[in-house]
Amino acid sequence: MKVSYRLVSGLLVLASIVGMSFALYLEHVKHLVPCPLCIFQRVGLMAMGIVALIAFLHNPKSSVMKRIYALLAGLGVLWSAGVAVRHVWIQHLPADQVPSCGPGLNYLIDVFPMKDVLEQVLRGSGECAKIDWTFMGFSLPELSVVFFSGLVIVCFWQMFRKF
Phi, psi of 139 (to 5 degrees): -75, 165
Model confidence band, residue 15 (pLDDT cutoffs 50, 70, 90): very high
Cβ atoms within 10 Å, residue 43: 13
Are 156 and 55 in contact by the 8 Å Cβ rule? The answer is no
Q: What is the pLDDT of residues 132-156, one digit of tens each?
A: 888 999 999 999 999 999 999 999 9
The reported pLDDT for the residue numbered 123 is 66
Model confidence band, residue 105 (pLDDT cutoffs 50, 70, 90): low
Domain ranges of the chain: 5-160
Q: What is the pLDDT of residues 23-62, one digit of tens each?
A: 999 999 999 888 888 988 999 999 999 999 999 999 999 9
Are 116 and 77 in contact by the 8 Å Cβ rule? The answer is no
Query: Rounded distance, CA 147 to CA 118, Å?
Result: 23
Of 35-49, 78-92, 94-108, minimum mean pLDDT range: 94-108
Q: Give the CATH fold of the 5-160 domain.
A: Bromodomain-like (1.20.1550)
Of 34-38, 111-115, 121-125, minimum mean pLDDT range: 121-125
Q: Is 59 left (phi over 0), alpha (psi -120 to 50) or beta?
A: left
Long-range contacts formed by 136-142: CB under 8 A, 24+ apart: 139/88, 139/91, 140/26, 140/38, 141/37, 141/38, 141/41, 141/84, 141/87, 141/88, 141/91, 142/88, 142/91
